């Protein structure tokens, strides 16, 4: 059994699907409110990573753990760093108690700015905690994911090729940022790039990162090892803008944002929102540092075929998404019009008839045909869903539920236990401060 922690996140969802596709049993550790987003076919373990009893229950009879959880965009009621501090401490203790054979962790590349960005600083701290736990481990340092950071510059197209995208989390700052710049490329032809246009990064696809994490389980070369991974080619922002221009069939201009501006925003938001400050810090890091990784040896070692940002398949997926959206809007419009035209004797239908200049008989037949087609499609989808759900894994997935209690009470007890433990003394156990 493989336990995936953070199983409803962008990377965690891809990991669960990869494990299921490989035919291996998987248990997804999710919060009770997030279980609806879990991948069908996985056993569910409900709980909170910051509550030791919950994660202890989830780690029973587990041979390996893949941990992708983080608090970069915290959920309502969470604090930045809770997962990285107390959550990972609970997880490592539970893994040690239940004899977990391998711990696979996703981290970030080393840069000169690590200590000034909380998320990266905590990842580096956990890289030190994991070997000290005595559990066999594998650490992958991954660069920015193309499905997230190619959207941050001003387009929602990359989000359509990803399930449970990080940028769709219920965090006010990221949602406001995405509303402001989310369609900048499609609407205005501008790309809001981090740093100079020549800044180079080996952007990695989420599905490729998931493949590395899953294929490392039981791999002899992966035991107690750390790997730097990345995409198949380093791309500058100029290259990325060129890809968008070819996909959209229109010229796109890069609008560089100086690293100093992101740093200033990080410092500005720090007294008001640690999470917003941290997000600006990640932008500052990406704008200031190149991230180039040679994958000629690592990718074949783990049997991963890397996805290219500039590939024709990416163009085809983007165009298909646009065409699907357009065709769905056209169908919905016809259905809306048809619902009014069918009642030709009503006042509403007569007013539409006058205002639009159409005769009801001219659209009734196409609308009826379209409705029949959509009804047949819906019936087919329902039959396919019922057939899929007859599989044992989908029919009644096993759910591990912690004892009934309030979330605040569980976290309070977990903090009290951590405070009374002798292991809390010393800088290594406390972890780096968010204000460091």
Q: What percent of the chain clears pLDDT 90, i.e. is strictly above it?
A: 33
Residues 151 and 158: their CA atoms lie apart, in Å, by 6
**Residue range 2-310+404-430, CATH number:** 3.40.50.720
**pLDDT tens column, 352-378:** 333 333 344 444 555 566 556 656 665
Sign (positive or negative) of CA dihedral 149, 153, 154, 157: negative
Candidates 244, 143, 157; CA nearest to 203 is 143
Give 313's pLDDT tier (boundaries 50, 70, 90). very low
* Structural Rg of the chain based on CA atoms: 25
Q: Look at residue 397 and tell me whether its pLDDT is greater than 60.
A: no
* 3 state DSSP class of 56: helix
Sign (positive or negative) of CA dihedral 21, 27, 31, 35: positive
Q: What is the pTM of this model?
A: 0.75
Sign (positive or negative) of CA dihedral 46, 51, 54, 60: positive
pLDDT, the chain, mean: 77
DSSP 39: P
- Under 8 Å between Cβ of 43 and 49: no
**Angle, CA 321 vertex, CA 323 and CA 247 arms, to 5°:** 90
What is the three-state SS of 326-367?
HHHHHHHHHHHHHHHHCCCCCHHHHHHHHHHCCCHHHHHHHH
Q: Which residues pair with residue 138 across a beta bridge?
A: 104, 225
**pLDDT tens column, 265-304:** 999 999 999 999 999 999 999 999 988 888 899 999 999 8
Residues 291 and 204: their CA atoms lie apart, in Å, by 11
Q: Which residues pair with residue 43 across a beta bridge?
A: 27
| Residue where the block lists tokens 């999710």 | 30
Domain spans of the chain?
A: 2-310+404-430, 325-392
């Amino acid at each position: 059994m493989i336990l995936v922690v953070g199983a409803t996140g962008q990377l965690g969802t891809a990991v669960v699907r990869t494990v299921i596709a490989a035919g291996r049993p998987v248990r997804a550790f999710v919060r009770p409110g997030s279980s609806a987003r879990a991948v069908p076919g996985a056993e569910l373990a409900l709980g909170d990573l910051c509550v030791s009893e919950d994660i202890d229950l989830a780690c029973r009879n587990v041979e390996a753990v893949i941990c992708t959880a983080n608090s970069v965009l915290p959920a309502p009621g969470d604090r930045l760093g809770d997962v990285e501090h107390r959550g990972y401490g609970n997880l490592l203790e539970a893994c040690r108690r239940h004899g977990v054979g391998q711990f696979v962790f996703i981290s970030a590349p080393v840069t000169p700015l690590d200590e000034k960005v909380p998320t990266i600083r905590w990842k580096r701290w956990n890289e030190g905690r994991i070997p000290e736990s005595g559990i066999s481990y594998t650490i992958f340092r991954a660069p920015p994911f193309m499905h997230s950071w190619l959207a941050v510059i001003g387009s929602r197209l990359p989000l359509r090729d990803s399930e449970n995208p990080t940028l769709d989390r219920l965090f006010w700052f990221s949602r406001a940022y995405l509303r402001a710049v989310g369609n900048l490329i499609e609407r205005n032809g501008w790309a809001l790039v981090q740093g100079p246009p020549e800044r180079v990064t080996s952007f990695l696809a989420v599905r490729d990162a998931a493949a590395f994490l899953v294929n490392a389980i039981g791999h002899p070369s992966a035991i107690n090892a750390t790997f730097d991974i990345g995409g198949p080619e380093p791309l500058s922002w100029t290259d990325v803008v060129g890809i968008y221009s070819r996909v959209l069939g229109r010229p796109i201009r890069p609008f560089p944002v100086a690293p100093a501006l992101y740093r200033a925003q990080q410092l500005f938001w720090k007294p008001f929102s640690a999470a917003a400050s941290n997000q600006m810090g990640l932008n500052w890091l990406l704008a200031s540092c190149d991230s180039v990784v040679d994958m000629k040896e690592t990718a074949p070692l783990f049997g991963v075929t890397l996805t290219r940002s500039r590939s024709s398949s990416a163009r085809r997926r983007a165009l298909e998404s646009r065409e699907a959206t357009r065709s769905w809007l056209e169908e919905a419009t016809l259905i809306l019009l048809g619902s009014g035209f069918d009642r030709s004797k009503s006042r509403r239908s007569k007013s539409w008839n006058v205002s639009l200049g159409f005769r009801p008989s001219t659209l009734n037949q196409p609308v009826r045909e379209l409705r029949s087609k959509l009804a047949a499609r819906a019936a087919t989808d329902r039959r396919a869903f019922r057939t899929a759900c007859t599989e044992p894994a989908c029919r009644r997935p096993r759910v591990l539920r912690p004892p009934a209690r309030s979330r605040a009470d569980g976290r309070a007890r977990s903090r009290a236990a951590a405070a009374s433990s002798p292991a809390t003394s010393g800088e290594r156990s406390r972890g780096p401060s968010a204000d460091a």
